[in-house]
Chains A and B, each alone.
Chain A
Amino acid sequence: MAAKVVIKDLKKVYPGHDGTPVTAVSGVNIDIEPGEFVTLLGPSGCGKTTILRMIAGFEIPTAGDIYIGEERVNSLTPDKRDTAMVFQSYALFPHLNIFDNVAYGLKIKNLPKAEIEEKVQRILALVGLTGMEKRAPNQLSGGQQQRVALARALVMEPGVLLFDEPLSNLDAKLRVYMRSEIHKIQRSIGITSIYVTHDQSEAMSLSDRIIIMNNGKIEQIGTPHEVYAQPATAFVADFIGTANIIPAVVSAADNESVTVEILGHRYVKTMKNDFAVGEACKVITRPESMTLENDGGLKGKVTSSVFMGESQDYVVALEGSEKTVFVKKYNPNSATVFEPGAEVSVSVDVDSLHVIR
């Protein structure tokens, strides 16, 4: 049964080696709906894995509560919790074959032999490993081991499925493939999933919602579209994709729209806001939402122009500012290419820009 997960005011402080306590996680509140796929995304050391391990029961919260379903699980050992985890290192039992690896948890539940057999076969078929039952884990490729780890967790039909950077040990192509497999399987079963990663493309492609973390705190919770198009903070903007964060001043604002001024150019963005006139703010634009033209926008000079195949990537130094911006032009063969040194004008797609404090 897909369970909901509620995390309230979660805090984790570790005893530090030098005597000063280290705060790994603080003030974390998350509500996860049954069947939802939520990703904890952030740089290494941001506390995302600590949260996952507290949900699984491997770490004890310093403060706060964790509910799985209706039950407060803080004092339960990991074996008593309705969670199943897919580990970064897979953590397959090297002394057991594939069948016994997947059957391990079912045997502990003392299920009848026939039922175990049936469930294991069904799940192995689901992850495409039928026929591998008698193999040892080290006889399998990385991708196959990854599937065994997934099968071993799925077969438990847990309330919550936990993923701890499960794809980080795979090569790039396989990672993309396994990503779509995980997505497909999760959707077909409808199991609540919490997924930890530092790879934004995994987060974007898998999640219903992404929780972006930094320094033990949540920066933003939102759908992939929200965190990309309307990042709540400069950190989020910079962490998800590439962002140009340009200092600006609010020149007019009402509840429905805000007008910002950058180097003498005004941009009107329709968005709910509470900015005051004259307030300093930051404008966030994505490289692909800006174009280089001969005139008409922000004046600048190309300092770098690199052909990437799918795109031409520019760095432009804005005139009258210390700021340089990244501009990406897709399908570069069909357009004029600017060389370094070229005087250009940068125009911004107003609909895709975003304003934060």
Chain B
Amino acid sequence: MPEKQYSNLSLKWDEMQKIFRDPILLGTIITVLISLVIFILWPLYEVLAQSFLADEGGLTLRYYQEALRQTENMEVLRNTIGLCLFVSFFSTAIGFVFAYADAYLKIPCRGLFKVIAILPIISPPFALAMSFIMLFGQQGFVSKVILGIKDANVYGFAGLATVQILTFFPIAYLVLAGLLRQIDPSLEEASRNLGASRWQTFKTVLLPLLTPGIANSFLLVFIQTAADFGNPMVIGGNFNTMAAQVYLQAMGNYDIKGGTALATVLLSLSVLMFVVQKYWVGGKSYVTLTGKPSRVRELIDDKAVVAAVGIPCLLISAFIAVLYILIPIGSFVNLWGIDYTFTTRHYTYIWNLGTKPIIDTTVLSLISMPITGILGMVIAYLIVRKRFIGRGVIEFTSLLSLAVPGTVIGMGYVLAYNQPPLILTGTATIIVLSFVFRSMPVGIRAGVASLQQIDPAIEEAAQDLGADSFRVFHSVTIPLIKSAFFSGLVYSFVRSMTAVSAVIFLVSASYNLLTVAIMSQVDVGRLGVAAAYSTVLIVIVLAVVGVLTFCLSKMGVKVTNLQG
């Protein structure tokens, strides 16, 4: 009898039997696929389609020509790329110094670094820009009161770039600190043992090991900077960036088509960086292969090194801390730059304006929290544990939304859901959906990382003992990755509370959100009111996170910062 020949494709199809014979699993996969397609791919497709479809029908490149022919927009594109490169370079450099100080040096006040890393996450994304205006702007405390400069101008490239570096370098810091901690100290000892000095060891062992991590940080910061909407709007002045320009073109000039063309250009830039980061740099890590270090590293307490590296870090940290503290202070000052007497009038103003945005933001964020958390873990489980056709689509799409700038997806939501079959414009649903799909990727990443640590045999054992897929997931998988799960919940809440770029397209008369309210107060120059709103937001975030963390720690769950 001749041997039957098998092709890889037919064998992969055979493997799908595992999915088909399990209705719960099959149903879950289909549901996840459909929701990713509807809520991530379709809006992006709408943006693309609208940018190429002429009003009178047919394909056209007209909107690109029109949008890019405006010299202003070409300049915006150049600005964006230049700014992203500049910010990514300095963020990565500062992040590296912080990571080195954290992982290698015996320095005091290391806890401050963790605070600095968390602050950008729990505050509105343009908080530092506001503080910067309060310090260095026309009415700035430093510029006007201390230095006596009249008409100081903080708006523009210098102010924006500084603010973005201070906001985004913690991303690089967390990524690199994570890597540095995983490097086995024996590697450096081996190098020293073979006769290399500390500097040579740093140059020939440490730096090469970290190169993929450094590239990774650079690209992550690049993506974040390109997508940043709040800071350019607040402190960009005449220096415009693509993320903001998409909004201004579409909503300010009522040129939706031109907006979609710009959005597509921005999207291409971000997706390109994302693909490079995930598939090119992502596969090159040496460090993860070595796993956990064999023992704890001896921290360097050489005074010269500690002073040279540690003091700048502490100074930067202190400066950032001051910037954040300025916000609550500003909310209690009568008229910043002119009259520094104590007042609660900004809070009274907010109260009279109505607490609806505050309550709406909190409630909608709370609603999206469990949805995000559970969906994120389900997707992580499918990605890590199951092999099926379509898995790559799920993985790519769900992580892609990390890279898609908020203004692009926000515009996509507007385009996709204001016509049948799904009319969601102006509803709370559309805001919740945007919260869910914007904050999910971070939870997925955490879920994937923690599932990879867990022996798949544990889940197999449960199934072998009679548990169906659903039962395995909730009685074994979730308890095993509960730290990632709850951290994902907390992160999702925080990120929803502070989201602005996507939802600015989605707010309506019936549902306004805090961040959007803050931006409009900054826009009309009511810094005190903006600061008061921001303070309220930060207090709510801290209160909810505090309560959650406390309850979870009673249950024995540790919540970790997922940005790393």
B 121-142 binary contact with A (CB < 8 Å = 1; else 0): 0000000000000000000000
A277 in contact (CB, < 8 A): no
A 42-61 binary contact with B (CB < 8 Å = 1; else 0): 00000000000000111010
Contact of A62 among B14, B461, B468, B471 (CB under 8 A): B14
A-B contact pairs, 9 of them (CB 8 A): A15-B12, A21-B11, A57-B464, A62-B11, A79-B463, A85-B460, A88-B457, A94-B480, A95-B479
Chain B residues contacting A93 (CB-CB under 8 Å) are: 458, 461-462, 476, 479
B237 CB → nearest A CB, Å: 54
Chain A residues contacting B465 (CB-CB under 8 Å) are: 79, 84, 104-105, 108, 152, 156
Residues A78 and B464 in contact in the complex (CB < 8 Å), given A15-B12, A21-B8: yes
B22 in contact (CB, < 8 A): yes
Chain A residues contacting B8 (CB-CB under 8 Å) are: 15-16, 19-21
Q: Is A87 a contact of B480 with CB atoms below 8 Å?
A: no
Binding site for B on A (CB under 8 A): 13-16, 19-21, 56-58, 60, 62-63, 75-79, 83-85, 87-89, 91-95, 104-105, 108-109, 152, 156
A301 CB → nearest B CB, Å: 47
Choose among A63, A91, A109 the residue with the greatest number of B CB atoms under 10 Å from its CB: A91
Q: Is B471 a contact of A78 with CB atoms below 8 Å?
A: no
Contact residues, B8-65 vs A (CB, 8 A)? 8-9, 11-12, 14-15, 17-18, 21-22
Residues A76 and B466 in contact in the complex (CB < 8 Å), given A13-B6, A21-B11, A95-B480: no
Q: Is B463 a contact of A60 with CB atoms below 8 Å?
A: no
Q: Is A21 a contact of B7 with CB atoms below 8 Å?
A: yes
- In the A-B complex, the 9 residue pairs with the smallest Cβ-Cβ separation, listed nearest first, are A105-B465, A91-B457, A91-B461, A15-B11, A95-B479, A15-B8, A108-B466, A87-B457, A91-B458
Q: Is A79 a contact of B17 with CB atoms below 8 Å?
A: no
Chain A residues contacting B479 (CB-CB under 8 Å) are: 93, 95
B 438-478 binary contact with A (CB < 8 Å = 1; else 0): 00000000000000000101101111111110010001100
Q: Is A62 a contact of B6 with CB atoms below 8 Å?
A: yes
Q: Is B464 a contact of A77 with CB atoms below 8 Å?
A: no
Chain A residues contacting B461 (CB-CB under 8 Å) are: 85, 87, 91-93, 152
Q: Is A84 a contact of B455 with CB atoms below 8 Å?
A: no
Nearest B residue (CB) for A164: B457
* A92→B465 CA distance, assembly (Å): 12
Chain B residues contacting A76 (CB-CB under 8 Å) are: 21
Residues A89 and B466 in contact in the complex (CB < 8 Å), given A21-B6, A21-B8, A75-B21: no
B 161-173 binary contact with A (CB < 8 Å = 1; else 0): 0000000000000
* A87→B463 CA distance, assembly (Å): 13
Chain B residues contacting A95 (CB-CB under 8 Å) are: 476, 479-480
B4 in contact (CB, < 8 A): yes
Contact residues, B464-515 vs A (CB, 8 A)? 464-468, 471, 475-476, 479-480
Chain B residues contacting A56 (CB-CB under 8 Å) are: 460, 464
Chain B residues contacting A104 (CB-CB under 8 Å) are: 462, 465, 467, 475
A134 CB → nearest B CB, Å: 16
Q: How many residues of B contact A (CB 8 A)?
A: 30
* A100→B286 CA distance, assembly (Å): 40
Nearest A residue (CB) for B8: A15
Nearest A residue (CB) for B458: A91
Nearest A residue (CB) for B13: A15
Residues A79 and B457 in contact in the complex (CB < 8 Å), given A19-B8, A60-B17, A104-B462: no
Residues A13 and B11 in contact in the complex (CB < 8 Å), given A79-B466, A87-B461, A91-B455: yes
Q: Is B21 a contact of A77 with CB atoms below 8 Å?
A: yes
Residues A60 and B14 in contact in the complex (CB < 8 Å), given A77-B463, A85-B464: yes
Q: Is A91 a contact of B460 with CB atoms below 8 Å?
A: yes
Nearest B residue (CB) for A11: B4
User: Beyond the given A16-B8, A83-B464, A88-B457, could you list 8 further A-B residue pairs with CB under 8 A, ordered by the A residue number?
Assistant: A21-B7, A21-B11, A62-B14, A75-B21, A91-B460, A94-B458, A94-B480, A108-B471
Chain B residues contacting A105 (CB-CB under 8 Å) are: 465-467
Nearest B residue (CB) for A60: B17
Nearest B residue (CB) for A81: B464
Chain A residues contacting B464 (CB-CB under 8 Å) are: 56-57, 78-79, 83-85
B19 CB → nearest A CB, Å: 10
* A313→B18 CA distance, assembly (Å): 52
Chain B residues contacting A89 (CB-CB under 8 Å) are: 455, 457
Q: Is A77 a contact of B457 with CB atoms below 8 Å?
A: no
Chain B residues contacting A62 (CB-CB under 8 Å) are: 6, 11, 14
Chain A residues contacting B458 (CB-CB under 8 Å) are: 91-94
A267 CB → nearest B CB, Å: 39
Q: Is A60 a contact of B18 with CB atoms below 8 Å?
A: yes
* A89→B479 CA distance, assembly (Å): 19
A12 CB → nearest B CB, Å: 10
Choose among A62, A93, A94 the residue with the greatest number of B CB atoms under 10 Å from its CB: A93
* A83→B461 CA distance, assembly (Å): 11
B304 CB → nearest A CB, Å: 44
Chain B residues contacting A20 (CB-CB under 8 Å) are: 8
* A14→B462 CA distance, assembly (Å): 25
Q: Is B11 a contact of A14 with CB atoms below 8 Å?
A: yes
Q: Is B6 a contact of A79 with CB atoms below 8 Å?
A: no
Nearest A residue (CB) for B18: A60
Chain A residues contacting B14 (CB-CB under 8 Å) are: 60, 62
* A326→B464 CA distance, assembly (Å): 46
Q: Is B460 a contact of A78 with CB atoms below 8 Å?
A: yes
Choose among B457, B458, B466 the residue with the greatest number of A CB atoms under 10 Å from its CB: B466
